[in-house]
């Protein structure tokens, strides 16, 4: 009998646990530990943040879903990993602290034969003074954050309806933040809601980003086929903003936010301020600060985790110039190199290097996006880890033949620009691979045949379809396993 412990119930963790439970017999245990009781379809937070959806439409309770199929669920957070056990326990275990109301604060040691770290990111609001819910800016990183964003947005809309002008600043709130796509989608939806109310003459909307050029999106930008032509994501992105008279500030690292004022540094080292009435800024991401200890209780956190708190896997973490990094540096099995029964999925794994070129100001501030690993890549990675563990447990096959490197994996992104059957629109983009492979594709770094960008109503319909399709899949409704990751 094997016990698989999955830390996290987001896209990657939920995907891994449900595939494990489907393919393994009930004599094997699948245990999921997550600090919140809900599964949450994050891409639809944008619509909560503009009042077009409610939190109930993007979430459901995990325990009934897991109980139905025989997955044990513990509402708790991981505190420490003990891959060798300790003096009392002769196998790997994780110390958890319960967060649910019935057991909140209780600590437990959960043993495992295999561990999947799918904890996702910590939203590091503390990394930028003054940003985040309850402070000076709002967020759309969770359904409750997005709900607060909508309340604040309504306040600004009400003021505009009374004739008062409002300034909206939306973008990244840390010099190394990622998820530019989510912020970009939100600014387009905010614009749509203001335009729908015929209040554009009362609004000033500005995009603030740490990207060197617009359309970088943490993946070094891309060239896409569009309407029979090849164009850059820079042009693709700028055109969306220009069409809506949205100004932008790029190469900006936000350092501090006060009430109504953003302090930021540009890549040239100059310091600036930007006023606002409403601001939504994406924070930086880090790992959750989970500690690791060996059998004699020595701290081995640095062996399991990178300095940013994400877990080390089968990647090349050697220090070398950006120009020497290769597509082959990226992991494919997500197995920890020291402890072969430990894996990290989705955002929880430590990237070997940025995809966008690292840029530093004369003051030494790194102002460039971290690599994105959300959405489709997270789901694919979670499934591949599950497939390898299924082979390992059922057949004794430790070869890890299932692979999912981001330097070969494609991904699709749909950025909505409104809401409604006839009035919505979306920018749809596919990239293949996510991480450029300049050896295989020396001209563009990617396969231009499958790297495509289009805009229009059809993409918006697809975004709607994906919302319902992936919630159907996550809830385990009939034939869920036939839907893609």
- Domain with residue 11: its CATH number is 3.50.50.100
Query: Could you tell me how many residues make up the chain?
Result: 485
User: Domain for residue 226, yes or no?
Assistant: no
User: Domain for residue 195, yes or no?
Assistant: no
User: Domain for residue 422, yes or no?
Assistant: no
Taking residues 127-140, report their average pLDDT. 97
Q: What is the DSSP letter of 338?
A: S
CA pair distance 415, 44, nearest whole angstrom:
11
User: Domain for residue 352, yes or no?
Assistant: yes
User: Domain for residue 363, yes or no?
Assistant: yes
Parallel, antiparallel, or unpaired: how do β-strands 261-266 and 203-208 relate?
unpaired
With a cut of 80, say whether residue 103 has pLDDT above it. yes
Taking residues 53-58, report their average pLDDT. 96
Question: What are the start-end ranges of the H helices in 168-250?
Answer: 180-196, 233-243
Q: Return mean pLDDT, the chain.
A: 95
Which two three-digit tokens encode residue 224? 């896409």
Crossing angle of helices 11-23 and 62-69, in 10° steps, is 20
Report if pTM > 0.75: yes
Q: Which range is least confidently modeled, 167-176, 246-255, 415-424?
A: 415-424
- Calculate what percentage of the chain has a pLDDT beyond 70: 99
User: Domain for residue 247, yes or no?
Assistant: no
- Give me the pLDDT at residue 464, please: 84
With a cut of 70, say whether residue 250 has pLDDT above it. yes
Q: Give the residue numbers spanning the domain of 24.
A: 3-123+286-395
Parallel, antiparallel, or unpaired: how do β-strands 247-249 and 284-286 relate?
unpaired
- Give me the pLDDT at residue 412, please: 81
CB 434 within 8 A of CB 377: yes
pLDDT tens-digit series, residues 424-476:
677 778 889 999 999 999 999 999 998 887 777 777 787 888 899 999 999 99
HSE-up of residue 483 (Cα within 13 Å, Cβ side): 19
CB 40 within 8 A of CB 59: yes
User: Domain for residue 16, yes or no?
Assistant: yes
- Give me the pLDDT at residue 456, please: 73
CB 355 within 8 A of CB 218: yes
User: Domain for residue 77, yes or no?
Assistant: yes
- Give me the pLDDT at residue 414, please: 81
Residues 6+ apart with CB under 8 A from 192: 50, 417, 418, 419, 423, 424
CA pair distance 55, 311, nearest whole angstrom:
31
Parallel, antiparallel, or unpaired: how do β-strands 59-61 and 342-344 relate?
unpaired
pLDDT tens-digit series, residues 149-168:
999 999 999 999 999 999 99
pLDDT tens-digit series, residues 337-373:
999 999 999 999 999 999 999 999 999 999 999 999 8
CB 277 within 8 A of CB 260: yes
Taking residues 296-301, report their average pLDDT. 97
User: Token pair 């060798």 is at which residue?
Assistant: 84
φ and ψ at residue 341, rounded to 5 degrees? -95, 15
Taking residues 132-148, report their average pLDDT. 97
Region of residue 387 (left: phi > 0; alpha: psi -120 to 50; beta: else): alpha
Which SS3 state, helix, strand or coil, does residue 415 take?
Answer: strand
- Give me the pLDDT at residue 225, please: 81
User: Token pair 């009781």 is at which residue?
Assistant: 37
- Give me the pLDDT at residue 421, please: 65
Question: Considering its fold, how many domains does the chain have in total?
Answer: 1
User: Token pair 């996702």 is at which residue?
Assistant: 120
Parallel, antiparallel, or unpaired: how do β-strands 93-98 and 107-111 relate?
antiparallel
């Amino acid at each position: 009998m094997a016990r698989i412990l999955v830390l996290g119930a987001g896209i990657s963790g939920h995907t891994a646990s449900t595939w494990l439970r489907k393919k393994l017999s009930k004599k094997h245990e699948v245990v999921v530990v997550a600090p919140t009781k809900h599964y949450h379809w994050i891409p639809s937070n944008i619509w909560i943040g503009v009042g077009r959806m409610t939190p109930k439409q993007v979430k459901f309770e995990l325990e009934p879903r897991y109980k139905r199929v025989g997955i044990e669920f513990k509402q708790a957070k991981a505190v420490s990993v003990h891959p060798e056990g300790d003096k009392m326990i002769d196998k790997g275990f994780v110390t958890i602290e319960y967060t649910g109301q019935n057991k909140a604060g209780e600590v437990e040691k959960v043993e495992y034969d295999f561990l999947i770290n799918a904890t996702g990111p910590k939203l590091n609001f503390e990394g930028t003074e003054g940003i985040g819910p309850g402070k000076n800016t709002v967020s759309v990183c969770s359904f409750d954050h997005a709900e607060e964003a909508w309340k604040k947005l309504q306040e600004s809309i009400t003021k505009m309806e009374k004739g008062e002008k409002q300034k909206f600043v939306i973008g990244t709130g840390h010099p190394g933040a990622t998820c530019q796509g989510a912020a970009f989608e939100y600014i387009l939806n905010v614009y749509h809601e203001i335009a729908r109310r015929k209040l554009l003459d009362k609004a000033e909307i500005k995009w603030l980003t740490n990207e060197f050029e617009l359309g970088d999106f943490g993946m070094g930008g891309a060239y896409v086929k569009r309407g029979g032509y090849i164009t850059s994501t820079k042009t693709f992105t700028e055109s969306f903003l220009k069409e809506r008279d949205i100004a932008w500030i790029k190469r900006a690292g936000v350092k501090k936010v006060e009430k109504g004022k953003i302090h930021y540094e540009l890549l040239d080292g100059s310091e600036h301020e930007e006023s606002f009435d409403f601001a939504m800024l994406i924070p930086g991401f880090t790992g959750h600060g989970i500690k690791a200890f060996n059998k004699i209780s020595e701290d081995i956190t640095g062996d399991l985790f990178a300095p940013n708190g994400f877990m080390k896997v089968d990647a090349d973490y050697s220090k070398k110039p950006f120009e020497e990094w290769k597509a082959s540096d990226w992991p494919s099995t997500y197995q920890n190199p020291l402890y072969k029964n430990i894996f990290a999925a989705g955002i929880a794994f430590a990237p070997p290097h940025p995809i966008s070129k690292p840029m530093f100001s004369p003051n030494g501030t790194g102002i460039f996006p971290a690599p994105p690993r959300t959405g489709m890549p997270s789901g694919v990675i979670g499934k591949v880890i599950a497939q390898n563990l299924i082979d390992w447990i059922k057949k004794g096959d430790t070869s890890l033949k299932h692979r999912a490197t981001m330097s070969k994996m494609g991904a699709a992104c749909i950025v909505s620009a409104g809401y409604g059957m006839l009035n919505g629109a979306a920018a749809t983009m596919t990239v293949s691979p996510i991480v450029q492979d300049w050896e295989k594709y020396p001209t563009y770094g990617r396969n231009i045949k499958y790297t495509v960008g289009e805009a229009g109503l059809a993409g918006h319909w697809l975004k709607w379809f994906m919302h319902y399709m992936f919630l159907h899949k996550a809830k385990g409704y009939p034939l869920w396993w036939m839907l893609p990751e």
